[in-house]
Homo-oligomer: A and B are copies of this chain.
């Protein structure tokens, strides 16, 4: 007698469904990094993944569906915010990760942001991912409050995180500046100084 609560064989984690998803999403990432979202097609992804086109159409429907799933998959990884022992150290480490993801060529992060300007579905998935990441990083600010590094326990974590990270996105994505190895720490330091002066304190 089969176990009624057992998942269907091809649905269990690591099973055929998961394997096909991994192959397809790897192919999407590779196609995006090489040619951006404009050259992304179901056919190209299926060929690269070695999966039947019909399978891709059935499960992801269209290019928007593929973009959403690759962004959702980024949110499923067990990424953890840095924990270096100080707010400045944590924000610097976070900024280094961001700079690396934006400066690598080709950059999947840049391709996904670019895609989100053109696909409403991708934009919504990207917005959900950002919200998750900011929520995860709130712990950086909580730990800084516990260590007495901030003037008030009522510090707006999201505002502080945006102040620390936004200048890097601005420089690398919009101003298209060359990455500067010292910039992650400089931007982190400016945000910490503002926070120490009460810029993100909420009453």
Contact = CB atoms under 8 A, between A and B. Distances in A.
A190 B186 contact: no
Contact of A166 (B127, B166, B189, B197): B166
The secondary-structure label for the interface of chain A is helix
Copies in the complex: 2
Contact-size category for A? 35 or more
Contacts of A159: 167, 186, 190
Contacts of A190: 159, 163, 191, 194, 199-200
Given A194-B193, A200-B190, A174 B113 contact: yes
A200 to B, nearest CB: 7
Identify the 5 closest CB pairs spanning chains A and B, nearest first: A166-B170, A190-B199, A193-B197, A194-B194, A166-B166
25 contacts: A113-B174, A114-B117, A126-B174, A127-B176, A130-B175, A159-B167, A159-B190, A163-B190, A165-B170, A166-B169, A166-B170, A166-B171, A169-B170, A170-B170, A189-B199, A190-B199, A190-B200, A191-B194, A193-B193, A193-B194, A193-B197, A193-B198, A193-B199, A194-B194, A194-B199
